[in-house]
């Protein structure tokens, strides 16, 4: 695949990318998390940085490292911390890409001591986390551009279109779970982009770096 973007088509632009999973502490040694690698978000941050944007990457616990002088990485653990860092960066940011796999729920109370094994059954009460993309989407100005992701196992298009609207995205990237080699942990991905204008674009199975370039191409076209 060939990309025709010039290397500086995001010169002078500012961008925010959320990436990776979040970990929600149960006690000092345990957490609720997910299998997000953070690779997609890092690839998008690197692509925008190469094209000249100044990028703030707000990243949950991940093995990945973004390496570009235009990228400032803020490491966070929980959804709450990710929200606070993202909200701060969002105030001065033109482009926001919400690539993080934010935990939907967190333990209602965090035990200060390690929970000891006792009865055969254990329940942990959970509370819904703040929706970072939806909350910042409500404060979005006319100049700001938001991109979201959706990973669905059923009614993919319907669910993606609902999120596009509800979270005030300019476009949403649907990750196909059905294809081998797509999604978590893999280095490849297959996506469909749904624009708020109704435009729809499907990709073949691509390396994550090429998916990132395609996503950023879609942003640049709209700026
Ligand atoms: N998102 C977010 N904050 C959350 C949950 C999700 O910013 N607390 C963002 C994700 O980064 C992604 C988009 O919202 O860009 C959709 O995430 P997804 O988990 O698919 O949607 P949910 O609204 O959490 O719905 P559900 O998990 O029930 O499908
Ligand atoms: Ca979710």
Write the CATH number for 180: 3.40.50.10300
Residue 5, pLDDT above cutoff 80: no
> Which of 19, 62, 150, 166 is the best mutation target for the ligand 1 pocket, counting ligand atoms within 8 Å of the beta carbon and taking the most?
150
Contact between 45 and 88 (Cβ < 8 Å): no
167 appears as a binding residue in the annotation:
yes
Domain assignment present for residue 32? The answer is yes
- Number of structural domains (the chain) is 1
Contact between 96 and 147 (Cβ < 8 Å): yes
Tell me which residue of 69, 68, 50 sits closest to 5, measured CA to CA: 50
Domain assignment present for residue 139? The answer is yes
Task: Report the alpha-carbon distance of residue 6 to residue 171 in Å, rounded.
Answer: 22
Mean pLDDT of the chain: 94
Domain assignment present for residue 137? The answer is yes
Question: How many A from CA of 150 to the centre of ligand 1?
Answer: 7
State which ligand 1 atom lies nearest to the alpha carbon of 130.
Answer: 8
Which residues lie with the beta carbon below 6 Å from any ligand 1 atom?
18, 79, 98, 100, 102, 104, 129, 131-133, 148-151, 163, 167
Question: How many A from CA of 39 to the centre of ligand 1?
Answer: 17
**pTM, to two decimals:** 0.95
In this structure, the residue with its CA closest to atom 4 of ligand 1 is 131
The confidence score (pLDDT) of residue 7 equals 81
Domain assignment present for residue 156? The answer is yes
Q: Copy the structure tokens of residue 86.
A: 């993202």
Domain assignment present for residue 8? The answer is no
Q: Which of 6-10, 114-118, 143-147 has the lowest mean pLDDT?
A: 6-10
Per-residue pLDDT, averaged over 107-123, amounts to: 95
Residue 184: CB atoms within 10 A of its CB come to 16
Contact between 151 and 167 (Cβ < 8 Å): no
Task: Report the alpha-carbon distance of residue 150 to residue 181 in Å, rounded.
Answer: 17
The confidence score (pLDDT) of residue 188 equals 85
pLDDT tier, 187 (very low <50, low <70, confident <90, very high otherwise)? confident
pLDDT tier, 182 (very low <50, low <70, confident <90, very high otherwise)? low
State which ligand 1 atom lies nearest to the alpha carbon of 136.
Answer: 7
What is the rounded (10 degree) CA torsion for 29, 32, 37, 42?
-90
Q: Residue 31: left if φ>0, alpha if ψ -120 to 50, beta else—which one?
A: beta
191-211 confidence digits (pLDDT tens): 999 999 999 999 999 999 999
By residue range, what is the domain housing residue 139? 14-104+127-222
Q: What percent of the chain has pLDDT over 90?
A: 88
Residue 2, pLDDT above cutoff 70: no
The confidence score (pLDDT) of residue 176 equals 79
Residues with CB under 5 A from ligand 2 (ion): 104
Q: Which of 22-26, 127-131, 150-154, 168-172 has the lowest mean pLDDT?
A: 150-154
Question: How many A from CA of 208 to the centre of ligand 1?
Answer: 20
């Amino acid at each position: 695949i060939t990309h025709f973007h010039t290397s500086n088509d995001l010169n002078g632009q500012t961008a925010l990318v959320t990436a990776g999973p979040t970990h929600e502490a149960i006690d000092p040694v345990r957490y609720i998390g997910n299998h997000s690698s953070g690779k997609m978000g890092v690839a998008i941050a690197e692509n925008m940085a190469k094209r000249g944007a100044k990028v703030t990457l707000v990243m949950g616990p991940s093995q990945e490292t973004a390496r570009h002088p235009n990228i400032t990485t803020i490491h966070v653990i929980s959804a709450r911390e990710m929200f606070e860092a993202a909200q701060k960066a969002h105030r001065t940011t033109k482009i926001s890409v919400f690539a993080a796999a934010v935990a939907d729920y967190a333990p209602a109370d965090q035990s200060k001591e390690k929970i000891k094994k006792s009865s055969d059954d254990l329940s942990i009460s959970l509370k819904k986390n703040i929706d970072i993309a939806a909350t910042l989407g409500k404060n979005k100005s006319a100049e700001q551009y938001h991109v979201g992701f959706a990973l669905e196992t059923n009614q993919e298009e319907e669910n993606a279109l609902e999120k596009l609207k509800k979270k005030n995205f300019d476009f949403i990237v649907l990750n196909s779970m059905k294809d081998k080699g797509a999604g978590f942990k893999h280095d490849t991905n297959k996506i469909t982009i749904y624009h708020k204008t109704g435009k729809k674009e499907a990709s073949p199975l691509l390396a994550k770096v090429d998916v990132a370039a395609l996503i950023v191409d879609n942003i640049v076209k709209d700026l």
